Structure 1
């Protein structure tokens, strides 16, 4: 508490000259940006499509009109508006042939129904797997610091691992993995990475809605289209040849045919004593071609240069991409418009840039970073954080905006995850000064901290937070907020129904941007360097760059 009080006093003193000139944010302009970016003309804003070209051109034009300066790649001594992001693009050619057999009895599988396989990400031009043994690997976790090993030395060469989503603690809420709060071991990305490290031919994740925090439609829509990854020297080090998901009911039936009880095995997997179990008599086959190309996508970067310490940087970020065009829904709609996710964040980024460009110039530089390929695995932010345009050691913080509520105001706000840091303390204090209550992530088991563009910054030590709209609505309270969130997850999230609506007021979003401006403005007009808590897993990475801030 003393640390927080001192921090707030110092920041209040350093930024007092700016307090009376806090900007207001135009709800109508926010609405117009979201309406345009999520229109059918932008084709779902898929990377490496005509939709990307339109999106990048629009965002650059709006940043220019807002008064920002280009902050991207250096070209002939001048900054461009974009940062080139080379990506490996993989797409299944035609219809994949997929199947399982148990005791010699074959069953054909349909892509998108019982199973959703991703195009090969390790560099293969084709995937050809014939009768590979299936091995249940529990949660697929190897965590020496927790004395946990689901693999127990099993030889996975030529075999397909079947793993559960989330952490071993999810069901009970207690244990060595943060209880209900998901650790990185629970993320699907980790499951595939660890499978590759262990030499598996493939990994199939069993989908269950509660531990995944989203339904099968989201899995299908996110995994059966074009895949992207950052260009890697050795893709096989982090990607097995086959990556996919299977439906829970199909998995349970498969286990039963192999003489196993799925629920009983899942219960065993929640203990250290679990050992890999072969699904006796069961085998998996897959055959499909993969179109592999390297393409270049773009991050869009605007900047306001600091007047006193221009080499020190505060970043606001949001991702401009969505899922593009895919299979039609029941209404024949093929376009994933991505209005909430994340045209709202891009609109917020543009308007935040306008506020800084047209207000008192900050002492530190402020960067407005619209990243690509978030939906493909945080790839635009991963690329920026691995090859930063402005040194991470002198980056004060990343304030990320993803899927903001375009409706009415709430009495509260939240963040993705609740990692302890001075930055979060300051955000909470700023919210309180504006009459807003901070509500910690209400679903830590969903692992949202690892699912937004602040994470690539955080894992490299930069204090980072991803802001979330509140659920205690002024009109209707938490009951209305929770109902709206459930409806969005079920009917719009990563679906064609995420479209702009004329009855959205954007009043809550405009108000929330006032809070985020206050936080960033205080940081941009102080000498403070927020840090992670001493017991944070990100503290060591930040400490490693301490010399840059002396």
Structure 2
């Protein structure tokens, strides 16, 4: 799960016109953006869940728009689509969950409101009976940082109870885990991966709103839908049998009944040398599983370069959302995903149209609408692992996950500040728009690891993830923060993320033209984007220098 800042997601109203470009360059069209978002987030598309009728409608619409723009099919064998094979698991019937602690206390946990559970193993049933619970702090095994929450433990047959975020989220550890900024060790995906490597029978994350950066409603909504994973070589070892989250109040009660102080242990977990604590408590669960392989699709379009077509620049956005899930208080069970991410997909389509209508660039431009981002960045992960166009000769890429809907801003927020020289390009273009660039406002939320640029970045491709900040032209920072908070609380990963005809799309037009200018400059140059010294991704990119020099 990722938190979307509304300010990093801004799109101005169709009636507020477009950004004026040079006469020879087609314009980003606010009305077209609005129409694409309205269509893609309509109830007819059923929340755009992968491997559902909503997918069929979504990818057909996107491919049709790419074709109408004058782009070529960019997938394998001249297709618009790249097949992405995933393991899909969903609960088939009721889920029972309970805990025991101390001398005789026991409690059933209500699925959805108090705990969510699932599995990513290809099984038809999951049962744990009185599995011992072990509090393992932040669940981090990082020998290069001298940290091991699992030291001396044998987790086989046991369930790990872990905290979300990093050990230094609320403690001064000298920047050991990035200080305020989250490292990958803080991501919930990492917690699950490491528990599996430790041989645990299960892993349950204690949900807390501040370190997670989203409320329980987001967790509940995301886990109500089927879970997906890439097809793994040995899923029984690479995924624990049970994965889930527990609501904080229930976790506090459990610790108390086990004779433990949750807050005291939580504080101890910030300390280097923390030792895991067996909880004198156990966990049981039982649920049936429907597991099967399913094929979903990335949608890929291409504008071949006129001089160096083998050199590629990528623009990407994920088309999927959560589909249908738990109904809200109004009985609405369609998670429309208007901002997340019909807006980014609309921006991708519109960028494709503008590039295709303008002068042909020297390098090729590829436009990818990724599937299954909401399931763990799986569409972009699949493409990056199985690239249609070699990553070694991919110049750079741009990710769009939520466009702005509250008007233009005075600032541009960079997720992963200081990583690559794309930030220098961004600064030059933003300055022409009379905007300043700033680091992301909440690096502790780990946005850098929560969107579709990351599978490319970890393989060495310089990627830019940036958009409108929170300093609104109309209302300033206070209004921008208020809008972000409202979205994250009331609409993010909830049925209320619906199209609003009163949205102001001018900020989105501004952002998209900014990304267009940077990409076009690269496409008509011979420069290869680079990671800056100190970036963890630079050594990976440096190894492929020879391929780019040919």
TM-score by length of 2: 0.94
User: Structure 1 residue 293 and structure 2 residue 296: aligned?
Assistant: no
Q: CA deviation at 1:191?
A: 0.3
8 Å contact kept, 2:224–2:326: no
Q: Matched residues in 2 for 1:389 and 1:488: separation?
A: 36
Q: Matched residues in 2 for 1:430 and 1:173: separation?
A: 36
- Corresponding residue for residue 67 of structure 1: 70
8 Å contact kept, 1:402–1:467: no
Greater alpha carbon shift after TM alignment, 531-540 vs 314-323: 531-540
1:89-137 CA-partner distances (Å, limit 9, x unpaired): 000110111111113332111111111112x102222111000000000
8 Å contact kept, 1:309–1:363: yes
Q: Matched residues in 2 for 1:540 and 1:111: separation?
A: 45
1:355-382 CA-partner distances (Å, limit 9, x unpaired): 1101010100000000000000000000
Q: Matched residues in 2 for 1:419 and 1:321: separation?
A: 29
SS in 1 for 2:425: helix
- Corresponding residue for residue 409 of structure 2: 410
Q: Matched residues in 1 for 2:177 and 2:22: separation?
A: 42
Q: Matched residues in 2 for 1:457 and 1:135: separation?
A: 35
Q: Matched residues in 1 for 2:164 and 2:418: separation?
A: 22
8 Å contact kept, 2:467–2:511: no
Write out aligned runs for 1:90-109 (5 A). 90-102=89-101, 103-109=103-109
Greater alpha carbon shift after TM alignment, 505-514 vs 409-418: 409-418
- Corresponding residue for residue 141 of structure 1: 140
- Corresponding residue for residue 369 of structure 1: 368
8 Å contact kept, 1:22–1:518: no
SS in 2 for 1:468: strand
Q: CA deviation at 1:420?
A: 1.6
8 Å contact kept, 1:313–1:364: yes
Q: Matched residues in 1 for 2:322 and 2:242: separation?
A: 21
Q: CA deviation at 1:466?
A: 1.6
User: Structure 1 residue 212 and structure 2 residue 215: aligned?
Assistant: no
1:186-239 CA-partner distances (Å, limit 9, x unpaired): 000000000000000010001100000000000111123200111111113331
Change over 3 Å in CA distance of 1:435–1:237 after alignment to 2: farther
- Corresponding residue for residue 188 of structure 1: 188
8 Å contact kept, 1:63–1:354: yes
8 Å contact kept, 1:159–1:202: yes
Q: Matched residues in 2 for 1:418 and 1:235: separation?
A: 35
Q: CA deviation at 1:541?
A: 1.3
SS in 2 for 1:310: strand
Write out aligned runs for 1:122-521 (5 A). 122-172=121-171, 174-175=173-174, 176-280=176-280, 282-521=281-520
User: Structure 1 residue 26 and structure 2 residue 25: aligned?
Assistant: no
1:15-71 CA-partner distances (Å, limit 9, x unpaired): xxx977444211111000000000000000000000000001100111111111100
8 Å contact kept, 2:404–2:507: yes
8 Å contact kept, 1:25–1:510: yes
Q: Matched residues in 2 for 1:420 and 1:23: separation?
A: 31
Q: Matched residues in 2 for 1:109 and 1:21: separation?
A: 63
Q: Matched residues in 1 for 2:214 and 2:468: separation?
A: 19
8 Å contact kept, 1:94–1:288: yes
1:157-214 CA-partner distances (Å, limit 9, x unpaired): 1000000000011013543101000000000000000000000001000110000000
1:415-437 CA-partner distances (Å, limit 9, x unpaired): 32325211122112221122111
Q: Matched residues in 1 for 2:80 and 2:396: separation?
A: 21
1:280-308 CA-partner distances (Å, limit 9, x unpaired): 1x110011111001010000001100011
8 Å contact kept, 1:150–1:272: no
Q: Matched residues in 2 for 1:173 and 1:530: separation?
A: 35
Q: Matched residues in 2 for 1:23 and 1:485: separation?
A: 31
Unmatched tracts of structure 2, length 5 or more: 1-20
SS in 2 for 1:95: coil
- Corresponding residue for residue 5 of structure 1: none
8 Å contact kept, 1:372–1:380: yes
* Paired residue total: 527
Q: Matched residues in 2 for 1:32 and 1:394: separation?
A: 35
Q: Matched residues in 2 for 1:161 and 1:289: separation?
A: 22
Q: Matched residues in 1 for 2:162 and 2:418: separation?
A: 27
TM-score by length of 1: 0.94
Q: Matched residues in 1 for 2:458 and 2:130: separation?
A: 39
Q: Matched residues in 2 for 1:64 and 1:273: separation?
A: 58
- Corresponding residue for residue 10 of structure 1: none
